[in-house]
Amino acid sequence: LVQPCVSLLHYGVIHSYASFSLLSRAWKQHRKQAESRHARRRALILLLGDSITQLSFSAVNAGWGAHLADQYQRRADVLNRGKSGYNTDWYLNYLNTTEGKQDIFGSDHNPMNVRIATIFFGANDASDAVLNPRHHVPLQRFKDNLKKIASTITQHIGHHVKIIIICPPPVHHETRLKYQVQRYGDNATGKLERTLQLSGKYAQAAAEVANELNVPHLNLWKDMQNAAPGPDEPWSKYLNDGLHLSREGNIFVGQRLTELIKKNFPELAVTPCPHTDYPGNSASVCPGLDHFGPWHDHINHTDPMQSFRKKRKMTIESNGERHQD
């Protein structure tokens, strides 16, 4: 009777040890997979909009999207998904295609990594219904479309994403008419298919949607005119053809957007180096976004691999904590 009990006990010990070994190996494998995922977890900033967004990477005009990329170097990649000539109707149609979903929400990137998303429409939607029916979107449908785009972002990315709505800029009539002549010559109509009044209505509508959704907004229509007031409309310097942003306009948007992020999402704002005003060195700070690769002045030149291992461990632990939140 004693011998079977011993055998059973021995079997139980072996079985428990085997189970423990399997669990241990499974845990190590899980840990390696988790480390691999976290090691690739660079944050993303997603820009949705029309041509004013598509052109925001312009090097010649100091694009506002390029300004963001500069601010977030080594911390976040900026994805420009602006579509020139699109209104909110067309963008929503694009979002409902397989190509659109993959392009915006990722076949080559993880949408869960998107921390900030901007929605910047209205310049085309605000076209005159008679003179430019191709681009015109009725005001109420424009508002509904903005809400649908915001909802789609949250659905595919998650509620952690910080959404910012950017209202369309003002339209400068004189510059717009000059542009007509420059581009179309004798075929220029001399009629304004986009106006300051119409863009103002759509800017107000976008601001109302932002307030309804409880997300911050940047009202360029008001801010640009307030920043450079006067009877000669000096705010026209922010526009290169009366509609799209000039170099000064892009710098204006980039700076105002950075200020808005700092005010509303301080954990995602980059504080540049106090000595050089450079956003990408060891003295720059961004509480909510880790930098990738140790700063050069943190690398031990006698044993550089030690510095890289230490930074990798810190990145995994930091991202793991944020992922769990």
Catalytic positions: 51
The Cβ of residue 297 has, within 10 Å, a number of other Cβ atoms equal to: 8
SS3 310: helix
Q: What is the DSSP letter of 208?
A: H
Structure tokens at 118: 């901007």
**Separation CA 192–CA 179 (nearest Å):** 11
Q: What is the per-residue DSSP string for 94-137?
A: HHTSHHHHHHHHTSSS-GGGEEEEEEE--TTTTS-TTT-TTT--
**Separation CA 161–CA 164 (nearest Å):** 10
Tokens 């976040």 found at:
76
The Cβ of residue 325 has, within 10 Å, a number of other Cβ atoms equal to: 6
User: Residue type for 4, please?
Assistant: P
Is the separation of the CB atoms in 220 and 196 below 8 Å? no
What Cα–Cα distance (Å) separates residue 154 from each residue in 61, 157, 210, 271? Answer: 31, 5, 14, 27
